[in-house]
Structure 1
């Protein structure tokens, strides 16, 4: 983009920055949602709720299926990985 284009786009800089920030937050939320460790924790909690009687078998099965779908997607896409970095 030339100098004139940059000058004309300058008023939109805050909007572009805001959109970038929103996209970063959404990407992190999605990464956490599909993170296999997070899903496994939720599965363990779900199991505890079933054993304590907080959940019925039907509700457990429905929620377990949803979590297993998330786990499959997370494992397939590599969600939750930090590309070689550790936390």
Structure 2
């Protein structure tokens, strides 16, 4: 961009900066949420809760399905980025 357009857009710099920060936070949250290691740890914890009688079989099945869906997405996303494609 030219100098004039940069000067005209200068009042919007805080908004652009905030948007960048929000985007970074969202990407990091998604990385953590879909981390295969974290999902597997949650699956193990879920099984412990079932064995301890803290949740019912129905709750276990529902939560396990959600975690397995996250793990599938993580695996698919990882495979796509390993192939050189982007999300």
Asked if Structure 1 and Structure 2 have the same fold, meaning a TM-score greater than 0.5 normalized by the shorter chain, the answer is: yes
Q: Greater relative contact order (Cα 8 A, min sep 6): structure 1 or 2?
A: 1
Count of residues paired in the alignment: 80
Alignment partner, residue 24 of structure 1: 24
| Unpaired segments ≥5 residues, structure 2 | 82-87
How far apart are residue 11 of structure 1 and its match? 0.7
User: For 1:55, what is the secondary structure of its paired residue?
Assistant: coil
RMSD: 1.5
- Which string of whole-angstrom CA distances, capped at 9 and with x for unpartnered residues, describes residues 18-38 of structure 1? 110010000000010000000
Alignment partner, residue 37 of structure 1: 37
TM-score, with length taken from structure 2? 0.88
TM-score, with length taken from structure 1? 0.88
Alignment partner, residue 85 of structure 1: none
- Which string of whole-angstrom CA distances, capped at 9 and with x for unpartnered residues, describes residues 33-79 of structure 1? 00000000000000000000000000000000000000000011019
| Unpaired segments ≥5 residues, structure 1 | 82-87
Alignment partner, residue 56 of structure 1: 56
Q: What is the CA–CA distance in structure 1 between the aligned matches of 2:64 and 2:27, rounded to whole Å?
A: 24
